[in-house]
Chain A
Amino acid sequence: MQIIDTGIYRFALTSDVKHVHSVAKSLYADSSERDLPVDFKVRLVFDSLVRRFIKPQISFYADQHSPFKPLPLSQAPAVLEWGMNWCVAAHEYSKLLIHAAVLVKNGKAIIFPALPGSGKSTLTAHLGLSGWETYSDEMAIIDIDTAMVNPVYRPVCLKNNSIDLIKKWHPEAFFTPTCVDTQKGDVAHVKVLDWHRYQNLQKVPIVAVVFPKYAAETELTIYSLSQLYGFNSLSKNAFNYNVLGATAFNTVDKIIKSSSLFEIQYNNLKDVDAFLTEDIIG
């Protein structure tokens, strides 16, 4: 059994696949020395003897539940990360979870809710390796009382062309081996924090919500959004909004009232960095 400590949640991993353990170790080994209870017991296993040897497939289990169909063995490290995301999204009801990246500078958080293909993860990885603190690539974990956002110790999931782009811009960063031909295309994870740096991160207030949209032909264009649009979009991007009910409504209200709201279209991350740093963080 291997402990995967993401700071706020701890996973106990068992697997038939040594490769999964070695990739998990490369991402989380520096975090897993604390003697604390685990939140989720997860397994990556072969469902049948046939599928161990013929076109091998792997299944993810959280306790006895398997939320995904079996996937090719070569995708096992990516399946583990997706499974860990699922565990949190399906079981965390004490905090508001918004499908968004979170970047922090000078103790101020900006959250980036976005649809797939918006360039969110590329933006997160690049800025996370260029002076910003990456609190999350996948979900903003927000306290319901204070509307402050929590850091989580996870890598950034890169897809397709963004893998080579980030490798080119940040050759010193650690990347997991690329899983090819997954349902999301080619996938690799890049480590944007080490555990020592993570331990110094604190909950911080959200000062802006930015909806990014990569557009190859468009220079940085900034649109100010109404509070109504921002509220509507944030609530639709929350994993557990309907479960939390009025609590989620109140938390989104706090975020909207304390945040600047923008949509940006961009084709250059340096321009985005300058806008976020100078005009939002200030």
Chain B
Amino acid sequence: MPEEKSQNYSLFPGSRLVWFHDGSGVAIYSGYSGDTTFLNNKKPDIVYSEFPISSSNLAKADLIKYLNLGEESAKSVIQRLLSEKVLWAN
């Protein structure tokens, strides 16, 4: 699995992630499929941090920090973003 080997990611061309500032979650647009999906924040007192959309080489540790979900949950989310081709493993 490329995501297991890689420690760095980029947004897939055309993909977008939007962090909701009320802490409700993240909206994800896949530049590959054109689908929009959502991640509900199950800890609404913790607001996601927004990483720069222009990030073309984002370290896995930073992505986990931005998602602010705890390491196991963040890995699961990263797996999903990779499978939906929102993220690209460098």
Contacts and interface: CB of A to CB of B under 8 A. Distances in A.
A253 B29 CA distance: 11
Contacts of A228: 20, 24-27, 38, 40-41
Contacts of B25: 226, 228
Interface in A10-52: none
A227 B22 CA distance: 7
A131 interface: no
A242 B35 CA distance: 8
Given A232-B38, A235-B36, A242-B34, A249 B24 contact: no
Contacts of B41: 228
A175 B56 CA distance: 58
A257 B29 CA distance: 17
Contacts of A245: 14, 29, 34
B34 A253 contact: no
Interface residues of B, number: 17
Interface string B15-45: 0101011101111010100101010110000
Contacts of A227: 20-22, 24
A239 to B, nearest CB: 15
B9 to A, nearest CB: 19
A33 B2 CA distance: 64
A250 interface: yes
Interface in A219-234: 226-229, 231-232
Nearest to B33: A245
A246 interface: yes
Do most interface residues of chain A lie in helix, strand or loop, or is the interface mixed? helix
B69 to A, nearest CB: 15
A29 B89 CA distance: 60
Contact of B16 (A241, A249, A256): A249
B87 to A, nearest CB: 16
Contacts of B16: 246, 249-250
Contacts of A256: 20
A7 B60 CA distance: 52
A249 B22 contact: no
Nearest to B44: A226
B20 A226 contact: yes
Nearest to A250: B16
Contacts of A229: 24
A58 B24 CA distance: 49
A242 B29 CA distance: 11
Which residue, A228, A231, A242, A245, has most C-beta atoms of chain B within 10 A? A228
Nearest to A235: B36
Contacts of A226: 20, 22, 24-25
Interface of A: 226-229, 231-232, 235, 241-242, 245-246, 249-250, 253, 256-257
8 contacts: A226-B22, A226-B24, A228-B41, A231-B38, A232-B38, A242-B34, A245-B14, A253-B27
Query: Which 10 pairs show the lowest CB-CB distances between chains A and B?
Result: A226-B24, A228-B24, A227-B20, A249-B29, A228-B25, A227-B22, A245-B34, A253-B18, A231-B27, A227-B24
